[in-house]
Structure 1
Amino acid sequence: MASIQKRIEQLLQALGQDMFEKEKPIRLALLSAIAGESIFLLGPPGVAKSMIARRLKFAFKGARAFEYLMGKFSTPDEVFGPVSISKLKHEDKYERLTHHYLPGAQIVFLDEIWKASPPIQNALLTVLNEKIYRNGEQEIKVDIRGLIAASNELPLRGEGLEALWDRFLIRLMVRPIQDEQKFNQMVVLPRHSGYGDPIKASLKINDEEYHQWMQQVDTVQVPPHVLGVIAHIRKRIRERNATAEEGEEMYISDRRWRKIVRLMRASALLNGRDEVDVMDCFLIADCIWNLDSQIAEARQLVQQSVQDFGYRNLVNIPALLDELERLQDEIEEQTRFIQKKRIRQLKNYLDKNQKTFYKIEQFWGNDPAFIRSSDYEKLQAEGQEVFIPIFEKAGNHFQPFKTYAIKLLDDYTVVSKNKELPIETEEVEKEVVLRQPAPAQILHAWQREIDQLLHICDESMQELQRRKEVDQSHLSTHLFVDASCTQFVSKSLEQAATELLNIRLEIEKTRHSYESIEATGA
């Protein structure tokens, strides 16, 4: 499997020769072709969109290419081939001569795709989805490996182009060259540079290999933790769509999700793996946006989902937390009981603004004074003599009188001018939560569950460490995902490990909660 990755890496390097800042479109064009999917390139004229398709043809041994610029007067004859006059005249059959047109090609480039007429659009839908072209009475199984469409605009709303737009799995923005040095290299290239075949014969993909890889893609495993990332992305999309304005939704059909997963499986295969991993999840970002304003949002959504859930589901942290919560609820139910008690507390007086005051008895001879609850808390915090305002009460109004040096002696007594003064209290009945020991049989059952949870935690930590060692060897060498995305995978590993440690501490804390209560031995 590793030899596949090395070969594809060399093939991509050759395809990208003199294609400055077009590495990503070329890589994803090849990936989509091997996955049997299509790709849409959005960008202004003159940014090498058609050149990408021409280069892709050279990746396949003996591949035939078809290229066409759509216009409002384009006819099916120009795309799918002219009607055979001979067949029509002698056999009364309406069939097209398709060999040198789209149905007979392996690599197809359709420029200005949204200008295609409805008859062309309808035929394309079947070609893109089923790889079938209906030619008169017969159905032709087309061998299209890569279909690249391009335009300098997205499909207009209300033009009936939604179904065709949905068929293009990968959507990419192609921009002019930004780096000045690369731009200077490009402008001095020979006139016909880029039109020749730069691929060695040994690197080209032959028919047997292509069809073999297409079958092997279906054998690549998709582990539960990767499906968990996809589930979280779908959840996030549903949440953002719930508040999005009409026409601003991210709509991804079930068919597209299935194709996205196949794309990820093809990525894993070409990277020399028999299992999809979280790095392949970053490909989703280029498959879920519908508007150019959503491109950055889609990328951030996928990156955050990988970081938060990439490895969290690998060790099934949600299930571990659910089991711990269930045990904690059971312990709480078995050991907790409520008893009513009369307790002493400070008596509250409220002013018209619902602020609380406490009454100090006999502050002025036989007359009381009042302090604010906030000042009482200040006395508690300071633990020493503090100057606070004293209030007089008239009805439900409290009027500040003067500032005094006050010290809190205990919860219900203050000292002012060396005189101990009680604060008015009252007795109230309250429910007090108490703990009772559980029977020994239940304690033993809890101990077994705690031991099992700790064992799962330890095994999960070992699995994370194993995964870290395995993934570190290939994270930065992914053929189709930028190496900068490895930071989100690394953070996901760190977050999962930290969460497991915290869960382990919580499990130990849970054990202590019932062990600290003396067992009855029942």
Structure 2
Amino acid sequence: MTLTERISKLVQSLSVGIPEREFCFQLAFLGVIISEPFYIFGRCGSGKSLLTKRLIATFRNPKVLKFGKREMDFPEKLAGYDIIIFKGFNPASETTKHNLQVAIQDREDIPLVILGEIRPETAMRQTGMADRITLTITLPESLSSPALCHLLQNQFEIENFTVDPELTISTEERRQWLSEIKQVSLSEEVLGIIGQLSEAADNNDLYISIRQWMSLTDLIKATAFFNGRKEANITDTFLLGTAVWGKTSTSRILMQSYSEVLHKQLLKEVPGAFEQDYDTEDLAYRIDLISRTSNNCYDTHTLNNQQCLYYRITISGEPVHLYVPLYRIETEEDFHPFNELNMIEKRVMCNYHGTSTCTISIDSAVKGVNAHRAGPVRAGTSVRFEEFAKLPTYIVKENDPQIIANKREQLAKIAQEIREVSEKENQKLRACKAIYQALKASADNVFCDPKTLANAQQVVKDKFDNTAALLKKIKEIHTNLIQLNRKLTETIQKMTQGGNG
């Protein structure tokens, strides 16, 4: 049996019959292993005593020093004890506070567990030991209905809890493991997460001591060690997304920050993961515009290096010059034209309604006014446009080969764009798939928080599904492009045959 298999069976036995507290029990086990003093916070009946009882049972013939609510003398020497436990911790008791301070100072590498119903930030502040008790495990206050029913149905498992003697841990083993855990290295991913969390703490004016960072890092290293690795990876940091930060408000903020940091770190190597999604609507519009417009060559004027259709209208005896970009012809949208000053003429509205005839509408306030540009529209004033005229566009040549050639050139550029975008999105798809499979494989790791894992998998899955939907849409649009290109080719062939005839 490997060490990983042994520890896996051991931590599974810890929470037998106690649902929805598995990860809390696992964290407590790690806390004992790395000999880091920690505080177990929970209301009366939440399972604190049960947890400590089972923790003790995982060790081989441990000598335990217990302090309860009753005041008792503290031993002069702690050597020889394997675990120190303060039950029903009351920071208001001067004797209890004194005993805790002595225990922390003299314990060397003896695990120290504190159980209390007072919130950790209050309890530690009152003892003056907030900088020494850097790990907190918070037990849930209640159970879900299914979990409660399971617990009631399986009370026998709780009352008759035992640990296989072959799985129990000797003091010598724990000390040897602690030495090896210290030698586990941290990957760049882990350091990146810790660094970003540290920044999040600073940005929110949260104080996290160096001692606390070291304690949490030891937990991460221990997680990697018991999974048979000499370097911690991203899944070993899942515990940072739980309420291990002590102060309730601090835990709430850093748990949210960890979720955001984890998701960024997971998708860091995914191409374009944090860029705005490719605009398939714009792509479809550009192809549709080429499809709907005719191949005719129109009489145009140049305005600011842009080919425009020109219209001249008269309002109240004043000539008004309007310029419409050529790409607007045969479209369906309302738009404002340009005037001779190359400025948007907001008092005029145009629409081709899918044809080559321009429907011109004018601001009703302009009619009857001697000057068309009588002044700016006041803020909050609604503009009502009334149809003024329908003006045709002069066609220079129908089915102009040059127009068709230009369209085919545009389609070729769009096709190249589609190939490049599709390749990038497929790379994103493959990267997401690889990350998801890696996360899925980590589900069997010891000390893997299932909730954090599920959230991480969902983030990657959402990115994968969104990318797959985008690729499907691009493929549909590309099919339309191929059909349009074929149609243009057929038009050229007919024109050539007609010319030969």
**Shorter-chain TM band:** 0.5 to 0.7
CA contact (8 A) 1:53 1:107 kept: no
Match of 2:448 among 466, 481, 484: 481
Give the Cα–Cα distance (whole angstroms) in 2 for the partners of residues 22 and 294 of structure 1: 21
Aligned partner of 1:64 in structure 2 is 63
CA contact (8 A) 1:252 1:288 kept: no
Aligned partner of 1:38 in structure 2 is 37
Give the Cα–Cα distance (whole angstroms) in 2 for the partners of residues 498 and 181 of structure 1: 36
Q: Could you tell me which amino acid in structure 1 is paired with residue 389 of structure 2?
A: I
Gaps of 5+ in 2: 276-301, 306-310, 323-335, 337-343, 395-425, 471-501
Aligned partner of 1:334 in structure 2 is none
Matches within 5 A, 1:188-227: 189=156, 194=159, 198-227=162-191
Secondary structure of the 1:373 match is coil
Give the Cα–Cα distance (whole angstroms) in 2 for the partners of residues 155 and 238 of structure 1: 19
Give the Cα–Cα distance (whole angstroms) in 2 for the partners of residues 123 and 251 of structure 1: 27
Aligned partner of 2:386 in structure 1 is 403
CA contact (8 A) 1:307 1:488 kept: no
- 1:50 deviates by 1.4
Match of 1:373 among 330, 345, 348: 345
Match of 1:252 among 198, 203, 208: 208
Q: Are residues 1:163 and 2:129 paired?
A: yes
**CA, structure 1 residues 21+309, in 2 after alignment: closer, same or farther (shift >3 Å)?**
closer
Give the Cα–Cα distance (whole angstroms) in 2 for the partners of residues 465 and 64 of structure 1: 50
Give the Cα–Cα distance (whole angstroms) in 2 for the partners of residues 464 and 218 of structure 1: 33
Give the Cα–Cα distance (whole angstroms) in 1 for the partners of residues 27 and 166 of structure 2: 21
Give the Cα–Cα distance (whole angstroms) in 2 for the partners of residues 108 and 142 of structure 1: 11
Secondary structure of the 2:221 match is helix
Q: Are residues 1:182 and 2:181 paired?
A: no
Matches within 5 A, 1:76-91: 78=72, 80-81=74-75
**CA, structure 1 residues 316+214, in 2 after alignment: closer, same or farther (shift >3 Å)?**
farther
Q: Are residues 1:275 and 2:231 paired?
A: yes
Secondary structure of the 2:50 match is helix
Secondary structure of the 1:263 match is helix
Aligned partner of 1:145 in structure 2 is 111
Q: Could you tell me which amino acid in structure 1 is paired with residue 264 of structure 2?
A: D
Give the Cα–Cα distance (whole angstroms) in 1 for the partners of residues 452 and 96 of structure 2: 39
CA contact (8 A) 2:33 2:174 kept: yes
- 1:11 deviates by 1.1
Matches within 5 A, 1:247-396: 250-286=206-242, 289-292=245-248, 295-310=251-266, 312=268, 344=303, 362-365=314-317, 373-374=345-346, 376=348, 378-379=350-351, 384-386=357-359, 388-390=361-363, 391=366, 392=369, 396=375
Gaps of 5+ in 1: 82-95, 134-140, 243-249, 322-342, 347-358, 414-457, 503-522
Q: Are residues 1:121 and 2:97 paired?
A: yes
- 1:30 deviates by 0.8
Structure 2 length as normaliser, TM-score? Answer: 0.61
Secondary structure of the 1:105 match is coil
Aligned partner of 1:107 in structure 2 is 83
Aligned partner of 2:199 in structure 1 is 235
**CA, structure 1 residues 366+143, in 2 after alignment: closer, same or farther (shift >3 Å)?**
closer
**CA, structure 1 residues 237+159, in 2 after alignment: closer, same or farther (shift >3 Å)?**
closer
- 1:24 deviates by 2.4
- 1:264 deviates by 0.2
How many equivalent pairs are there?
Answer: 375
Structure 1 length as normaliser, TM-score? Answer: 0.59
Secondary structure of the 2:59 match is coil
CA contact (8 A) 1:104 1:142 kept: no
Secondary structure of the 2:185 match is coil
- 1:261 deviates by 1.0
Secondary structure of the 1:47 match is coil
Identity over the aligned pairs, expressed in percent?
18
Q: Could you tell me which amino acid in structure 1 is paired with residue 74 of structure 2?
A: F
**CA, structure 1 residues 127+408, in 2 after alignment: closer, same or farther (shift >3 Å)?**
farther
CA contact (8 A) 1:121 1:164 kept: no
- 1:19 deviates by 3.7
Give the Cα–Cα distance (whole angstroms) in 2 for the partners of residues 197 and 155 of structure 1: 33
CA contact (8 A) 1:317 1:500 kept: no
Give the Cα–Cα distance (whole angstroms) in 2 for the partners of residues 311 and 368 of structure 1: 56
Aligned Cα root-mean-square deviation (Å): 4.6
Aligned partner of 1:3 in structure 2 is 2
Give the Cα–Cα distance (whole angstroms) in 2 for the partners of residues 265 and 297 of structure 1: 24
Deviation larger for 487-496 or 262-271: 487-496
Q: Could you tell me which amino acid in structure 1 is paired with residue 345 of structure 2?
A: S
- 1:108 deviates by 2.5
Give the Cα–Cα distance (whole angstroms) in 2 for the partners of residues 4 and 360 of structure 1: 88
For residues 25-58 of structure 1, give each alpha carbon's deviation from its aligned partner in whole angstroms, at most 9, with x where no partner exists: 2211111111221332222212221121121111
Give the Cα–Cα distance (whole angstroms) in 2 for the partners of residues 160 and 253 of structure 1: 18
Give the Cα–Cα distance (whole angstroms) in 2 for the partners of residues 381 and 8 of structure 1: 73
**Larger strand percent:** 1
Secondary structure of the 1:479 match is coil
CA contact (8 A) 1:49 1:174 kept: no
Deviation larger for 110-119 or 10-19: 110-119
Aligned partner of 1:27 in structure 2 is 26
Secondary structure of the 1:163 match is coil
CA contact (8 A) 2:64 2:83 kept: yes
